[in-house]
C-alpha cells in the first residue's frame, strides 16, 4: 500500500492551486488527497474537525501532511485536539505560525477586515496551538519578496511577498530551509517539491532521498 499525503491549501484558495505539487508527489509514488475547506467561513479549529474526519477515511497506514499557509494552522489544531494514530511526517510551506503581519493589517482596517473571515480565530493573528513534536515537521519558507502582501505594506524582510521568514519559525520543528521563491512559488517550484519529497522520506532537507522511510506494507 502506498504512503498517503494530505495536501492542505491556504486562505482564499480551493486547493486547485496545489495541482503541480500534487502531481510531483504522485509521480514520486505517493497517494495524494486534497483536503478542501472554507478558509473564511470556518475557523482553523473548526476546519481541523473536518480534517480529522477526512484523515480517518484513508486506508493508508502512513499519512503525511503537506500544508500551505493557513493550512498549517489547521494542522496544528488537528494535533492539538486529536490523537493522529497513523505515522507520517509534516511539511509546512510558508505558514505564519507566529502570526501574520499582513493579516493583522487587513484585520485592523474596517474596509478590509472581512477578507480575513474566521481565519484569525486562534490562527493568523498568532494565538495558535503549540506544536508538541508529535512527529517530524519540516518548515520551508520563501525569500523572494513578491506577492499580494506588498499591497498592504508587506511583512518584514526577508519575506516571500506575503509571509516573512521569521513568521514561519516554529518551536519544535525538525528542520528548516529557506528557498528563493515567493508565497505561491512554494506550490509550483520543482526545487521546493523535491525538498518536500526529501523530507517526507528522510525527515530532513537536503539531497533527494531515494527510499521511502516507512514500510507501509508491514
Share of residues in the chain with pLDDT > 70 (%): 94
- 214 versus 164: the higher-pLDDT residue is 164
Residue 208 has pLDDT above 60, yes or no: no
| Nine-digit cell string for 68 | 500551505
Residue 73 — very low, low, confident or very high, per pLDDT cuts 50/70/90? Answer: very high
The closest alpha carbon to 185, from 155, 143, 157, 149, belongs to 143
Share of residues in the chain with pLDDT > 90 (%): 86
What residue ranges define each of the domains in the chain, with the CATH number in brackets? 4-202 (3.40.50.1820)
Residue 154 — very low, low, confident or very high, per pLDDT cuts 50/70/90? Answer: confident
108 φ/ψ angles, rounded to the nearest 5 degrees: -75, -15
Residue 95 — very low, low, confident or very high, per pLDDT cuts 50/70/90? Answer: very high
| Cβ-based neighbours of 100, under 8 Å, separated by 6 or more | 124, 125, 126, 155, 162, 163, 167
Burial zone of 85 (CB within 10 Å; 0-12 exposed, 13-18 middle, 19+ buried): exposed
pTM for the model = 0.93
Residue 151 has pLDDT above 90, yes or no: no
Amino acid at each position: 500500500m502506498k504512503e498517503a499525503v494530505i495536501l492542505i491549501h491556504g486562505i482564499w484558495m480551493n486547493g486547485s492551486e496545489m495541482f503541480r505539487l500534487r502531481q510531483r508527489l504522485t509521480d514520486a509514488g505517493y497517494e495524494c488527497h486534497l483536503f478542501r475547506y472554507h478558509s473564511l467561513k470556518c475557523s482553523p479549529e473548526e476546519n481541523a474537525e473536518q480534517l480529522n474526519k477526512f484523515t480517518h477515511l484513508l486506508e493508508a497506514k502512513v499519512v503525511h501532511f503537506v500544508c500551505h499557509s493557513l493550512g498549517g494552522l489547521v494542522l496544528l489544531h488537528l494535533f492539538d485536539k486529536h490523537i493522529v494514530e497513523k505515522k507520517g511526517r509534516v511539511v509546512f510551506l510558508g505558514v505564519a505560525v507566529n502570526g501574520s503581519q499582513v493579516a493583522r493589517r487587513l484585520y485592523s482596517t474596517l474596509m478590509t477586515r472581512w477578507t480575513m473571515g474566521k481565519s484569525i480565530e486562534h490562527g493568523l493573528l498568532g494565538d495558535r496551538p503549540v506544536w508538541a513534536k508529535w512527529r517530524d515537521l519540516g518548515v520551508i519558507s520563501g525569500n523572494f519578496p513578491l506577492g499580494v502582501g506588498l499591497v498592504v505594506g508587506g511583512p518584514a524582510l526577508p519575506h516571500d511577498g506575503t509571509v516573512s521568514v521569521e513568521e514561519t519559525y516554529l518551536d519544535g520543528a525538525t528542520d528548516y530551509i529557506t528557498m528563493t521563491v515567493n508565497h505561491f512559488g512554494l506550490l509550483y517550484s520543482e526545487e521546493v517539491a523535491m525538498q518536500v519529497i526529501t523530507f517526507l522520506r528522510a525527515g530532513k532537507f537536503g539531497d533527494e532521498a531515494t527510499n521511502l522511510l516507512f514500510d507501509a506494507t508491514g
